[in-house]
């Protein structure tokens, strides 16, 4: 794998480090790096199930950044192990070894997306904050890992009526990864079992049942497009 990621400018490298830092503070300290054609797609899993009995939804966060056009890779590394290069402000040094993450083995489609009614950023922020409070309130003292995951799954996996029955975890991912800002309205798109929220700062991808109660209004392009 490459020794470093070379971006087009220091701002893009700092943006990548911010994404990695937020990913490292969530449940799984891992980030997938896919580079081709001058674009780096960074993907993290704010929420993902562990085992067949875990009802936590698969919720991915994605940020696309410009990189050296010659860079090509598709690897998963420890997010907290990424570090700014000491001799180049536009580069990030990679750890020596890659990881294996179950969530990285499932990829959303790159085309065939159809658009649904949008969701305001303020709604995403409010539902995320409500869920964070609900998780904290439902957590017993000295809770073990299984109990913690069960409570998180029950809160973040529940369909939210204020989000057109999307799992509430989609709002958590957008909020925790810093994608929610200002008064924009997130675009909502669907393709098969996947739903995508697109905001100016990144994308949230949710894998789950198709929501038959919503009507798609038009097709659009790839989830890696800014």
Task: Give the three-class secondary structure for 103.
Answer: helix
What tens-digit pLDDT sequence spans the chain (226 residues)? 679 999 999 999 999 999 999 999 986 899 999 999 999 999 999 999 887 777 888 999 999 999 999 999 999 999 999 999 999 999 999 999 999 888 998 889 988 999 999 999 999 999 999 999 999 999 888 778 788 888 989 999 999 999 999 999 999 999 999 999 888 999 999 999 999 999 999 999 999 754 444 444 434 444 444 3
Residue-level pLDDT at 55: 80
CATH 3.10.150 occupies which residues in the chain?
Answer: 4-105
Among the listed residues 78, 67, 39, the one whose alpha carbon sits nearest the alpha carbon of residue 222:
39
Residue 27, pLDDT score = 67
Rounded Cα gap, residues 187 and 114, in angstroms: 10
Q: What is the DSSP string of 22-44?
A: HHHTSSS--EEEEEETTEEEEEE
Q: Could you tell me the pTM of the whole model? A: 0.89
Q: Which CATH architecture has domain 4-105?
A: Roll (3.10)
Please answer whether residues 99 and 32 qualify as being in contact, where contact means their C-beta atoms are separated by less than 8 angstroms. Answer: no
Dihedral angle at the C-alpha atoms of 16, 21, 22, 23, nearest 10 degrees? 90
Other C-beta atoms within 10 Å of 76: how many?
Answer: 19
User: What pLDDT, on a 0 to 100 scale, did the predictor assign at position 1?
Assistant: 66
Q: Report the chain's terminal Cα–Cα distance, integer Å.
A: 26
């Amino acid at each position: 794998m490459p020794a470093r990621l070379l971006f087009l400018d220091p701002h893009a490298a700092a943006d990548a480090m911010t994404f990695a830092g937020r990913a490292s503070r969530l449940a799984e300290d891992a980030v997938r790096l896919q580079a081709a054609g001058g674009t780096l797609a960074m993907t993290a899993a704010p929420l993902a199930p562990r085992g067949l009995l875990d009802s936590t939804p698969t919720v991915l966060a994605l940020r696309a950044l410009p990189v050296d056009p010659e860079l090509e890779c598709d690897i998963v590394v420890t997010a907290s192990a990424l570090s700014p290069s000491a001799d180049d402000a536009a580069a990030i040094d990679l750890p020596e070894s890659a990881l294996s993450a179950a969530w990285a083995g499932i990829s959303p489609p790159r085309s065939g997306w159809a658009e649904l009614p949008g969701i305001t950023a303020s709604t995403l922020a409010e539902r995320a904050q409500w869920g964070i409070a609900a998780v904290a309130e439902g957590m017993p003292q000295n809770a073990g890992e299984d109990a913690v995951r069960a409570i998180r799954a029950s809160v973040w996996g529940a369909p939210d009526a204020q989000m057109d029955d999307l799992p509430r975890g989609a709002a958590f991912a957008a909020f925790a990864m810093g994608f929610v800002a200002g008064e924009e309205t997130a675009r909502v798109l669907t393709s098969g079992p996947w739903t995508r929220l697109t905001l100016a700062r990144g994308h949230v991808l949710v894998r789950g049942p198709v929501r038959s109660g919503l009507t798609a209004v038009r097709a659009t392009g790839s989830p890696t497009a800014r």
